């Protein structure tokens, strides 16, 4: 289940709420009971590997991956 981060405008605390994606836009009360909250945007890190050859492996000349730079 996704976790959404919120900030309370009344007391300034930041908190997380786990809820289904279908309820992602529903309001959330802060743990202190205030209801003036705003949902924060969270950065998501995605790992993986690139399929592009590295310059050390002899993959291209550097000009946008082309062969214009020797």
Per-position pLDDT tens, the chain of length 70:
899 999 999 999 999 999 999 998 899 999 999 999 999 987 766 776 766 655 565 555 556 666 666 5
Q: Is 18 helix (H, G, I), strand (E, B) or coil?
A: strand
Contact (CB, 8 A) for 19 and 1: yes
Kindly report the CA angle at 6 between 3 and 10, in degrees rounded to 5? 155
Kindly report the CA angle at 68 between 67 and 70, in degrees rounded to 5? 75
- Which of 29, 49, 53, 48 lies closest to 39, judged by CA? 29
Q: Specify the pTM.
A: 0.58
């Amino acid at each position: 289940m996704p976790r959404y981060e919120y900030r309370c405008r009344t007391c300034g605390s930041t908190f997380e709420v786990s809820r289904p994606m279908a309820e992602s836009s529903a309001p959330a009360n802060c743990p202190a009971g205030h209801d003036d909250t705003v949902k924060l945007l969270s950065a998501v890190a995605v790992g993986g590997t690139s399929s592009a050859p590295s310059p050390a492996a002899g993959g291209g000349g550097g000009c946008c991956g082309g062969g214009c730079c020797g």
